[in-house]
Chains A and B, each alone.
Chain A
Amino acid sequence: MNETGNKKWIFVGVFLFLGTVFLLKLAMLQIFDEDYKKYANMNAIRRVVQFPPRGYILDRNGELMVYNEVSYDLMVIPREAEELDTTEFCMLADMSKEEFVKGMSNIFDQVEKKRLSRSQPTPLIKQMAKENVATLEEKMYKYPGYFLQPRILRKYPKPVGAHILGYIGEADENLINSDSYYKPGDYVGKSGLEKSYEEVLRGVKGVKNLYVDNLNNPKGSYMDGQYDTTAVPGKNITCTIDLNLQEYGEQLMVNKKGGIVAIEPKTGEILAMVSSPTYDPNLLVGRGIRKNYPILLQDKNLPLFNRTNMDGYPPGSTFKLLNGLIGLQLGVITPETKYGCAGGFVAGGLRVGCHAHASPSDLRYSIQTSCNAYYCQVFRAIVQNEKKAEDGFNIWREYMLSFGIGSDFPDSDIPNTKTGLLPTAERYNKIYGKGGWKALTIISLAIGQGEMKVNVLQLANMTAMIANRGYFITPHLLKSIHENDTDRKVQFKKNQTKVDAKHFDPVIEGMECVVTGGTGRVTQIDTIRIGGKTGTAQNPHGKDHSVFIAFAPVNDPKIAIAVFVENSGFGATWAAPIASLMIEKYLRGKISRPDMEKRMFEGNLMNTVKPPVP
C-alpha cells in the first residue's frame, strides 16, 4: 500500500508538469510572440480602399472632353459562390454560358494553385456598362458570393483628341514597384494629359478600416474610423484645346496621314493637335483596352502614333524663313539684298534646282516665290561668316535651338515629345572628317532638306515665334487646374530667341505675300490678313510631303498653325487649304468656301506610299 501510495506523486507530478508546459507555451504565444496580434488583425480587419473620382478634362471654352461614368465589375468570392441558375444568371449579366463557365473555372484554377485566396473577391466580368447592370442589381440577393463593385470609366462626349487626352489603364508591375501609391488593379494615366496630369486628375485614395467576419462580411468600422482617411477627389483641369477646332481638324485629316498643330502665339496654348490617322478614344476604355489595343497597335497606319510631336519630317521650304531671320540678325544680308536665280543655285559643281520666277529677288520676294537659290546663298553666307565652317555652322545651330528647333520642350506638359533632328557639327565631322566639310557640303539645310527633321509641333511653335516677332511661350496643353472653386492658371516659360524683333517685319511681309500673291494664294480669306509659307518636303517614302505654316491675323496674331500632309505633293495642294480652313474656322467659326472644304474632307491620300522595294 505504501509503495503504491507513492505513485500518487507521480500522477501529481505529471499533472503539474503538463500544466507548466501549457503555461510556458501560452506565455510564448500570448506574451512573447507579437506576430499573432498582426495575424489576428489580418483576419479581422480589412482595408477597404475608397477610389476617388478622377478629375474631368474640359476644353478651353469649358466644354467637356472627358468625364466619368460608373461601370460595374461583377465580383465573385470563390469560397462563398454557390451553385446557381446559370441560364438566368448569364441572361441577367448579359454573358454567354461559355464565358461564365470559362471565367469561373479560371478563377477556381487560380484558387487551386494557391495564387488566389478563397476569400478574395475577384472580378468575373470587368466593367459592365450601367445599362446591363440595372436588372442584375435587383436580383443580386439571389446570388450569394457574387456582388457588383462600382468602378469609374472614362467617357468622351466627342470621340476626338485621343492623342492629346491619352488613356488610362491598369498600373503595370514597374510602376507598382517604384511608386507605393499604386496597387495592382489601380488605374493610371498611360499617355497624353492623363499621364502628364496623373497626380492632379487621380486625387488621393482613401482607406476605410473595417471589421469583417470569417465570411468577409463587413462588421463595422475599426477603432471608430480613427485610422480611416477620406478620398480626395481628383481635380478638374481645363486644357488649351478648342474642342470644335480639334474636331474640325480631325475631320479635315480623315483619310490623310499627317498632323496639324495650332497654337495661340501670345500664350503658347495649343488650340488643336491633330494626328492622323487617329482613333476613337472610347476604344481604349475599360474592357475595350484588352480587345482594341492590340488591333490599334498592329494597324499598319499606326493610329496610336502621335505624328505631331514624334520623329518629324524634313521641314522643306518653311525652313527658309528661319535662315532668312538668322541672316538678317547676323547682318550677312539686309532685306534689300538680292540674289539672282537662273533656275537654281550653282556653285562648285553643285546644283540646287529652283522653279521659274523673276530674278533677282530680294528677301520678301524670295519668300513669296520660295526661291531655293536665294536661301542657298543666305545659308552659305551664314556659315562662311566665320573663318571655319564649323564655327559658322555652330552659330547657325544656336539660333535654330533658340527657335525651338531640335527641342523636345522639356518644360512642356506634352508627353513623349521628341527632338526631331537638328544635326551637330560632330555629326558632319564624323562623316567628312574635321575640316572636311563646308557650307556647300550641307547646303540642303538651306531649304529644309538633308539631315533635318522637324515635327509639326516645332513647326507650329516656330510659326508662333515669328508671329510674336522673336519669342515663344513653351507650347502646352494645360490652361488651368480647378482648385477650391477657382481656376488656377498655369504659367509656362517665355523663351526669347536670338533674333531681334525688327528683323521680323520683312519676313512677315514676305509671308503675307505668299498668301496674297505667292505660292500660298489658295489660303487667302477675304479680309483676314494671313502670313504663310508653303513647303514641299522631299522624302524617301514616296510623293513629297505637303507642308504649310501660317498665322493670322498678321496685325494681331490669334492662331499660328502648321500642317503636314504626308506624301500628298505640293504644300499648296493639301496642307495650305487645310491650314486656311482651320484659321477661318477658329477666327470666324464658319466656313465661307464649302467647295474647298468638301475637297479636303473627301481627299483620300492613304495609299500614296510607295510599296516597299522587294
Chain B
Amino acid sequence: MTDRSLKREARIDWLPVFLYLFIVVFGWFNVFAATRPDTDDFIFSMSTNYGRQAMWIGFSLVAALVIMLFDSKFFPAFAYPIYITGILLLAAVLVVGQEVAGSKSWFVITEAIKFQPSEFAKFATALGLAKYMGEKNFSFLSTSRYNRIETANPKSWVFLPLRLIGITSMEGAFALILFLVPAALILLENDTGSTMAFAALFLVFYREGVTGIILVAGIVMAALFLLNVVVDEIYLIIPVSAIGLLGALYLFFRRNIKPGLIVVILTAITVGFIFMSNYILDNLKPHQKTRVEVLMGVKKDLKGAGYNVNQSKIAIGSGGLAGKGFLNGTQTKYRFVPKQYTDFIFSAVGEEWGFLGAGLLIAAYVLLLCRIILRAEKQRSRFSRIYGYSVASILFAHFALNVGMAIGIMPTIGIPLPMVSYGGSSLFSFTILLFVFIKLDSNRNEILW
C-alpha cells in the first residue's frame, strides 16, 4: 500500500459511533421519562423538553455527518482561528453574559436559545493545544540552550515549578499558557462545573510528557482536604509527618542526602497544606462547604444541600436490579428528583432501568473512553493523538463528576452527563468534539501536514 492509497481510504471506527448512538438514544428515552406529562393523551410536541431534545439530536446527527464530509486537514488548518474565537467568546461572556445562579457563563439570546461558550472553548482549546503541541519539534524538554526557559531570565525562580513538573522548553511553557488563559477565563465565570471539566484537559499534558507528580500531588491534596472535613487535623498531621520523617531518615541512612531533603520538604509542604485546608474550607462559599460536608457524611442536610442528592439516591436505589421499567419509575414520573432531566438524569436511568441499565450505560461510557485512548495512540499524526486525549479527558471529567454526584460519591457540582442530559448546546458540543476525533481517526495514517 502506498501512502496515497492510505490517504484516500477513510476507515471509520464504528465502535465509538455505535456507542455514541446508543448513549444518545438511551439518553433521550430517559429525558422523555423525566419530562413527559403524566397523562395518557399527551401529544408529541416540539415545544416540550423531550421534543426539543429530539430536535437537537437530529441537528447533532446532521453535524456529525457534515464533520465526516470535511477534509481532515481542515481541523489543524483552522485550529488557531477556532482557538482564538473560543478565547474571545470566553472574554465576551464575562462582559455581556447573563448571570444564571451566580455564574456568568451563558449567552442568552432567547429563553430557548442559550449558548455556553465554555462548551465551545473546550473544543477550541483541544484543537489549539493539538495544533501547537503536535508540531514536529515540540517538546516539553529543551533540546538546545536556545529554547531553554531560563533563556528569558536565567535567575528567575518563577521557572522552578515548571522544571519540577518537567517543562524546560520555551514552547512547553507556551503550551501551558495556551491552556491556562481559557482556564483562567472560565474560572472567572464562577462556574465550578465548567472549570473542573476544563481542568481535565491538563491530563493531555501528562500524556505528552509532563510528569505525573502534579496529578499525584493533586489527588493527595484532594484526599487530605476531604479527610480533614471528617477527622481532626491532628490525626492527619501525625501520620503524615511520621511517614515522611521515617522515609527521610531511611534515605539519609542510605546516604541519599538529596532525595532525603526533598522528602523532608514535601512532608513540610503537606503538613502546611493540611493546616491550610481548614482555612480553605472556611473560605468556601457556604453552599460549597455544605456540599463537601454532606458528601463526607459529616452533615445530613436532607432538606437543603443534601436534598437533591438524597432524592437522586432514592430514585436510583429503588430501581433495584432490573429497574421499574420505562415510564414506570415513581420518582421519575412524579418528579421527586430536582433537576432530574438535566444534571440528575442518571437517577432516571437508575430507577427505570435498574442496576442492569445503569451498569450498561456506565460500561458504554468506559468502553467509549478506553476506545478513544487506544485509537488516539494509533494515530500517525501527533495532532490527532493529542486531540483524542483531549476528547477522552473532557468526557471523563463530565462522566466521573456527574455520575459520581448522582450516586453520592462526589460533591454536588452542576455538570451535565454528556449526550444524555437535556440541553441542546451541550449535546451539540459533545457531538462535534467526538466526531471530529472519529473523523481524524478515520484518516489516522495520514500525516496532517
Tell me the A residues contacting B by CB distance below 8 Å. 4-5, 7-8, 10-12, 14-16, 18-19, 21-23, 25-27, 29-31, 33, 35-37, 39-41, 43-45, 114, 118, 211-214, 219
Contact = CB atoms under 8 A, between A and B. Distances in A.
Contact of B363 (A8, A10, A19, A31): A19
Contacts of A43: 311, 314, 330-331, 334, 336
Given A4-B207, A5-B377, A12 B334 contact: no
B334 A214 contact: yes
A347 to B, nearest CB: 84
Interface stretch (B403-411, B416-424, B439-447): B403-411
A15 B366 contact: yes
Query: Which of A15, A30, A37, A39 has the most C-beta atoms of chain B within 10 angstroms of its own C-beta?
Result: A30
B324 to A, nearest CB: 9
A233 to B, nearest CB: 32
A7 B334 contact: no
Contact of A36 (B318, B370, B374): B318
Interface string B298-338: 00000100000001011111111100000000110111100
B320 A16 contact: no
A19 B320 contact: no
B330 A15 contact: no
A596 to B, nearest CB: 72
B334 A211 contact: yes
B292 interface: no
B32 interface: no
A52 to B, nearest CB: 29
Contact of A39 (B209, B314, B320, B409): B314
A213 B336 CA distance: 7
A25 B317 CA distance: 10
B362 interface: yes
Contacts of B315: 40
Interface stretch (B65-73, B244-252, B263-271, B352-360): B352-360
B392 interface: yes
A30 B350 contact: yes
22 contacts: A4-B209, A12-B374, A16-B366, A18-B396, A18-B399, A23-B362, A25-B409, A26-B358, A29-B313, A29-B316, A30-B320, A36-B316, A39-B317, A39-B318, A40-B330, A43-B311, A43-B336, A118-B303, A211-B330, A213-B333, A219-B38, A219-B333
Nearest to A213: B334
Contacts of B409: 21, 25
Nearest to B314: A39
A28 B248 CA distance: 41
Interface string B339-383: 000000000001100110011001101100110011011000000
Given A12-B373, A30-B354, 16 more contacts: A4-B207, A11-B203, A18-B399, A25-B407, A29-B313, A29-B350, A39-B314, A39-B317, A39-B318, A40-B351, A43-B331, A43-B336, A44-B336, A212-B334, A213-B335, A214-B336
Contacts of A33: 317
Nearest to B366: A19
A223 to B, nearest CB: 12
Given A26-B359, A213-B335, A4 B314 contact: no
A356 B390 CA distance: 125
Closest 7 interchain pairs by CB? Answer: A36-B317, A40-B318, A213-B334, A19-B366, A44-B330, A29-B317, A30-B355
B318 A37 contact: yes
A268 to B, nearest CB: 58
Contacts of A26: 316, 350, 355, 358-359, 362, 407
B359 A7 contact: no
A12 B368 CA distance: 11
Contact of A29 (B207, B331, B407): B407
Contacts of A35: 317
Interface in B198-232: 203, 206-209, 212
A238 to B, nearest CB: 48
Contacts of B369: 15
Given A12-B370, A29-B317, A36-B316, A22 B362 contact: yes
Contacts of B206: 7
B21 interface: no
A185 to B, nearest CB: 23
B304 to A, nearest CB: 11
A105 B49 CA distance: 38
A16 to B, nearest CB: 6
Interface of B: 38, 203, 206-209, 212, 303, 311, 313-321, 330-331, 333-336, 350-351, 354-355, 358-359, 362-363, 365-366, 369-370, 373-374, 376-377, 389, 392, 396, 399-400, 403-404, 407-409
Contacts of B354: 30
Given A21-B409, A30-B354, A40 B317 contact: yes
Contacts of B363: 19
Nearest to B363: A19
B359 A8 contact: no
A36 B313 contact: yes
Contact of A4 (B208, B317, B374, B396): B208
Nearest to B377: A8
Contacts of B317: 29-30, 33, 35-37, 39-40
A211 B329 CA distance: 12
B316 A11 contact: no
A336 B350 CA distance: 100
Given A5-B377, A12-B374, A19 B355 contact: no
Nearest to B331: A40
B103 to A, nearest CB: 25
Given A4-B208, A30-B350, A44 B331 contact: yes
Nearest to A220: B38
A79 to B, nearest CB: 11
A126 B409 CA distance: 46
Contacts of A39: 314, 317-318
A44 B358 CA distance: 22
Nearest to A215: B335
A213 B207 contact: no
Most-contacted residue by chain A among B303, B314, B316, B355 (CB, 10 A)? B314
Contact of A22 (B203, B314, B334, B404): B404
B5 to A, nearest CB: 25
Q: Max chain A CB contacts within 10 Å: which of B206, B207, B334, B389? A: B334
A14 B370 CA distance: 10
A559 B365 CA distance: 92
B370 A16 contact: yes
Nearest to A43: B336
A14 B392 CA distance: 12
Contacts of B377: 5, 8
Given A11-B392, A211-B334, A30 B404 contact: no
Given A27-B355, A29-B317, A44 B392 contact: no
B334 A11 contact: no
Nearest to B312: A29
A118 B354 CA distance: 30
A506 to B, nearest CB: 83
A27 B354 CA distance: 10
Nearest to A111: B303
A8 B335 contact: no
B407 to A, nearest CB: 5
A523 B321 CA distance: 88
Contacts of A212: 334
Contacts of B396: 14-15, 18
Contacts of B334: 43-44, 211-214, 219
B207 A7 contact: yes
A30 B351 CA distance: 9
A118 B314 CA distance: 19
Contact of B373 (A11, A19, A40): A11
A43 B317 CA distance: 13
Contacts of A41: 318, 330
A189 to B, nearest CB: 38
A43 B334 CA distance: 9
